[in-house]
Amino acid sequence: MKDTAKHQGLRNQLSAVLEQKGITDKNVLEAIKKVPRHLFLNSSFEDYAYQDKAFPIGAGQTISQPYTVAFQSQLLEVEKDHKVLEIGTGSGYQTAVLYAMGAKVFSVERQNELFKTTSLLLPKLNIRPKHLSFGDGYKGLPNYAPFDSIIVTAGAPMIPKPLMAQLKIGGRLVIPVGDDPQIMTMLIRKNETQFEKHEFGEFRFVPLLENKN
C-alpha cells in the first residue's frame, strides 16, 4: 500500500490534465490530487493508474476514467457534510473522491466480490464512508434518505423512481441514461413532484443491473 512522491507528482499532472479538459471545480481537482488511484487498481495496471483511462477491476466492472469521475463529481456541487448517495461503489475510487471533497458518502454495490474487496480497502486508506452496503442500487437506501445528491456510476435504461424519491428538494441526481453510449443526465428536484432536467452529452458506462449478485 505504498503512496510515494512520484505518485503524488502523477496525481498533480492528472489534475492539470482534467483542468485543461474543462473541470473547473477546485474541490474536485484537489480531491483528484489527494486520492491514490493506483491503490484502487490491480497492481499490473499501477504504471498506468494516472492516465485518463478506465480499467477493468473484476466482476465485469471498470474503474471509471478520471475525467468521468471528475465530471460527475463537479455536477453534484458537493459541499462539506453533504449527504451523497452513490450507486455502484465498484473499486471505491469515486467514493474516495467524494469523501475527499467533504461529503458524507452512502454507497451501494450489487457485486458481492467488489463489495467485500472495497469494504476492506477503504479503511486501510483512512477513507470512511458513512455507510457501505451490498444491495440493489435501483432501490437506493430509503432508510438513510433524503440525500443532498445522488450519483449513479453505471448506465441505466431509465431513471429509477426510488432514487428520485430519495432526493432532497434542491438536490441533484446525476445519472448516465441509455444503452451505449449513455447521455449524462442531471435532475434537480424543484419540489415534491417537479424535477428540472439537464443533459451533458455522451459517456460510456457499464450497465446498471437490478438485484444483487
pTM metric for this prediction: 0.94
- pLDDT score, position 213: 57
> What is the reported pLDDT for 208?
74
∠ at Cα 170 (167, 171), nearest 5°? 40
Beta strand pairing call for 147-152 and 167-177: parallel
List the catalytic residue out of 15, 43, 44, 64.
64
Query: Residue 65: what pLDDT?
Result: 92
Residue 4 has a pLDDT of: 93
**Predicted pLDDT at 56:** 84
Locate cell 473547473: which residue? 24
10-residue stretch averages of pLDDT, the chain, 213 residues long: 92 97 97 96 85 85 91 96 96 96 97 94 96 94 97 91 97 92 95 96 80 63
Separate counts of helices (H) and strands (E) for the chain: 6, 9
Note if 44 is an active site residue. no
Contacts 24+ apart (CB under 8 A), 135-140: 135/108, 135/109, 135/110, 135/212, 136/108, 136/110, 136/210, 136/211, 136/212, 137/87, 137/88, 137/108, 137/109, 137/110, 137/208, 138/162, 138/163, 138/208, 138/210, 140/85, 140/87, 140/108, 140/165, 140/166
Give residue 212's pLDDT.
61
